[in-house]
Amino acid sequence: MTMADDGLDTAGLSRVLVTAVRPERPGAVANALTFGWRALLKLKHMPEQLFDVIVTPVMFTVMFTFLFGGALAGSPDQYLQFLLPGILVQTVTFTTIYTGFSLNTDLSKGIYDRFRSMPIWRPSPIVGAMTGDTIRYTISSLIVVVIGLILGFRPETGVAGVIAAIVLLNLYGFGISWLFVVLALIVRSPSVVMTMSWLVLMPVTFLSNIFVDPATMPGWLQAIVAVNPVALLVTAVREIMAGTATLGDVALALIGPAVVTALVAPVAMVLYGRKT
């Protein structure tokens, strides 16, 4: 037995101490994916959050098809071909509200104070939650497509067109949801987040080409619709499913969320740093 001058058994101590190399700290991507998984687990433990994701798309698709189809397009079947891509956009747009709602709920409970003390990439709780919410967008989109197929909707581009449209919708949803992240970091309660979000989304959504052709609108309203990000996305999704989409259509649809991300995401990170 080897004894040091102070009586310490250094040989025995070296055998019990861990000598392996410490594993590297997870990077930003791993942190974000972990919080994305957390967002999905919240749906598992609180399935009532999926209520609006499931019920709202079904209600709008069925109701508008049969209430207005005959008056606007001659028959529900013809109107459904025009309406369903718009309903897809409306559904994802409405679903982005829950990014801000969930964030504000967590902040009000003090959960993010716990995240602040952890050795993680600082923005990962927000970026991860937004990444997890893309699953919510995908679920709501698939529900609309399934209901549409049951009612008679037939995309010209088949499964490939549906997948391409959903990818575009997810990119749009991720970009636009930064607006509601900022709102969640400013207001004090989830109910205020919900109310103010609807005040923004309702006029933007209905002043678009989701339900009717803008050619039937007054000139001044057509000018508004022409630059409405929601209308640009609806046009792109319609063209994708019809097989007539161009790169310009897709680019125009992504300008809105890209600009929002570039301008609002840095503001959100500053507010988040101050909040926590």
Q: Is 32 inside a domain boundary?
A: no
Tell me: pLDDT of 100 over 70: yes
Q: How far is CA 239 from CA 45, 117, 155, 161, 226, in A?
A: 38, 48, 10, 9, 16
How many domains does the chain fold into?
1
Q: Is 196 inside a domain boundary?
A: yes
pLDDT-based confidence at residue 204 (cuts at 50, 70, 90)? very high
Tokens (6 digits) for 211: 């339900």
Burial 191-225 (b: 16+ CB within 10 A, else e): eebbebbeeebeeebebbbbbbebeeeeeeeeebb
* pTM flag (> 0.75): yes
Residue 235's pLDDT is what? 96
Tell me: pLDDT of 122 over 90: no
Judged by average pLDDT, the poorest of 20-24, 28-32, 86-90, 128-132 is 20-24
Tell me how far apart the alpha carbons of residues 79 and 84 are, in angstroms, rounded to a whole number: 8
Tell me how far apart the alpha carbons of residues 62 and 80 are, in angstroms, rounded to a whole number: 9
Q: 240 or 112: whose pLDDT is higher? A: 240
pLDDT-based confidence at residue 90 (cuts at 50, 70, 90)? very high
Tell me how far apart the alpha carbons of residues 105 and 200 are, in angstroms, rounded to a whole number: 20
Greatest C-alpha distance within the chain:
98
Tell me how far apart the alpha carbons of residues 76 and 83 are, in angstroms, rounded to a whole number: 10
Residue 15's pLDDT is what? 66
User: Contact, 208 vs 234, CB < 8 A?
Assistant: yes
Q: How far is CA 77 from CA 16, 48, 168, 235, 270, in A?
A: 75, 32, 25, 19, 49
From its phi and psi, is residue 232 left (phi > 0), alpha (psi between -120 and 50) or beta? alpha
Q: Is 263 inside a domain boundary?
A: yes
Tell me how far apart the alpha carbons of residues 152 and 54 are, in angstroms, rounded to a whole number: 19
Q: Is 126 inside a domain boundary?
A: no
Helix (H, G, I), strand (E, B) or coil at 9: strand
Q: Is 218 inside a domain boundary?
A: yes
Q: Is 259 inside a domain boundary?
A: yes
Report the chain's mean pLDDT, rounded to a whole number: 86
Residue 1's pLDDT is what? 45
Residue 112's pLDDT is what? 78
Beta bridge partners of 9: 3
Tell me: pLDDT of 110 over 50: yes
Residue 13's pLDDT is what? 62
Token pair 């709202």 is found at 56
Q: 151 or 28: whose pLDDT is higher? A: 151
Q: Is 224 inside a domain boundary?
A: yes
Tell me how far apart the alpha carbons of residues 260 and 176 are, in angstroms, rounded to a whole number: 6
Give residue 269's domain range: 47-121+136-275
Q: Helix 229-242 to helix 76-95 angle, to the nearest 10 degrees? A: 130
Give pLDDT tens digits for 59-82: 888 888 888 888 888 888 899 999
From its phi and psi, is residue 24 left (phi > 0), alpha (psi between -120 and 50) or beta? beta
Highest-scoring range by mean pLDDT, 13-22, 28-37, 109-118, 204-213: 204-213
Q: Is 13 inside a domain boundary?
A: no
Across 140-150, average pLDDT:
91
Percent of the chain residues past pLDDT 70, beyond the cut: 88
Give pLDDT tens digits for 257-274: 999 999 999 999 888 887
pLDDT-based confidence at residue 11 (cuts at 50, 70, 90)? low
Across 223-246, average pLDDT:
94
Tell me: pLDDT of 21 over 80: no
